[in-house]
């Protein structure tokens, strides 16, 4: 059984729970996905399948090596391809469809995506530093303070938290609960927020908990 599938973040909305409470959820177009390649332990050293998120892509956008790769599996070219683990070594074969029905309501999932890029950010926004006092005459409001020693080692140590590039990084949000599944439209409603902007590709994996 395939351990997850690929999807696209649509946006956020609210659902009304049975007890009348409002639940914020993220809507994900989860699939349909197609198996492009099957990897086995005797041949590749591990069991997995290569999934592709089914959506239209212009043939000129696919290079020749990937075109031959898709042709070998007898599937249409796709843009978003990722490997997915399989349970008990029982994965699908090339050309098989993987749908959103592999998940169940109230199941926990891990979601992997790319966070929004924020460009160059200061250390207050990037690392949540408190900064200095805001009183008049302080002259130490949003300054970083000391970043290293003077005499020894006379340099800035690696890993020092400073201003720099924020966002646009791989982020994994663990143990989000599936609130609702719409199999007809391949939609997955997950409680809470998911990294990335609307329209971003995500990977949804079973938590196993």
Boundaries of domain holding 35: 4-117+170-206
Quote the CA–CA distance of 99 and 135 in Å, as a whole number: 58
Domain shared by 196 and 104, yes or no: yes
Q: How far is CA 21 from CA 16, 149, 154, 191, 196, in A?
A: 6, 53, 57, 13, 26
- Confirm if 50 and 66 have CB atoms less than 8 A apart: no
Domain shared by 18 and 49, yes or no: yes
Domain shared by 136 and 194, yes or no: no
Domain shared by 113 and 123, yes or no: no
* Torsion angle in degrees (nearest 10) through CA of 12, 13, 16, 17: 0
Domain shared by 107 and 189, yes or no: yes
User: What global pTM score does this model have?
Assistant: 0.82
pLDDT of residue 209: 62
Into how many domains does the chain fold?
2
Cβ count within 10 A of residue 36: 23
pLDDT of residue 20: 84
Domain shared by 82 and 150, yes or no: no
Domain shared by 102 and 28, yes or no: yes
Cβ count within 10 A of residue 120: 9
pLDDT tens track, the chain, 209 positions: 888 899 999 999 998 888 888 999 999 998 788 888 888 888 888 888 889 888 888 888 888 888 888 888 888 888 888 988 887 766 678 888 888 888 888 899 999 999 999 999 999 999 999 888 999 999 999 888 888 888 888 889 999 999 999 999 999 999 999 999 988 899 999 999 999 999 999 999 988 76
- Confirm if 204 and 7 have CB atoms less than 8 A apart: yes
Domain shared by 113 and 130, yes or no: no
pLDDT of residue 117: 94
Domain shared by 105 and 185, yes or no: yes
Domain shared by 28 and 49, yes or no: yes
Domain shared by 58 and 159, yes or no: no
Domain shared by 36 and 125, yes or no: no
What is the CATH number for 18? 2.40.30.10
Quote the CA–CA distance of 169 and 121 in Å, as a whole number: 14
pLDDT of residue 189: 94
């Amino acid at each position: 059984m395939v351990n997850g599938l690929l999807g696209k973040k649509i946006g956020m909305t609210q659902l009304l729970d049975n007890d009348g409470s409002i639940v914020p959820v993220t809507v994900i177009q989860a699939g349909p996905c197609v198996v492009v390649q099957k990897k086995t332990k005797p041949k590749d050293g591990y069991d997995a399948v290569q999934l592709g998120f089914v959506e239209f892509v212009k043939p000129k956008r696919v290079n020749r090596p990937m075109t031959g790769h898709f042709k070998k599996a007898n599937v249409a070219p796709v843009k978003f391809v990722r490997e997915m683990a399989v349970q008990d070594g029982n994965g699908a074969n090339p050309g098989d469809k993987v749908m959103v029905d592999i998940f169940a309501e109230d199941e926990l999932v891990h979601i992997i995506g790319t966070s929004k890029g924020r460009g160059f950010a200061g250390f207050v926004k990037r690392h949540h530093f408190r900064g200095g006092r805001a009183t008049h005459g302080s002259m130490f409001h949003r300054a970083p303070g000391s970043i290293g020693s003077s005499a020894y080692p006379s340099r800035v140590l690696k890993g020092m938290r400073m201003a720099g590039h924020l966002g646009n990084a791989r982020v994994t949000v663990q143990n989000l609960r599936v609130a609702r599944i719409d199999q007809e439209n391949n939609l997955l409603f997950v409680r809470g927020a998911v990294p990335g902007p609307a329209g971003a590709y995500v990977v949804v994996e079973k938590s196993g908990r």
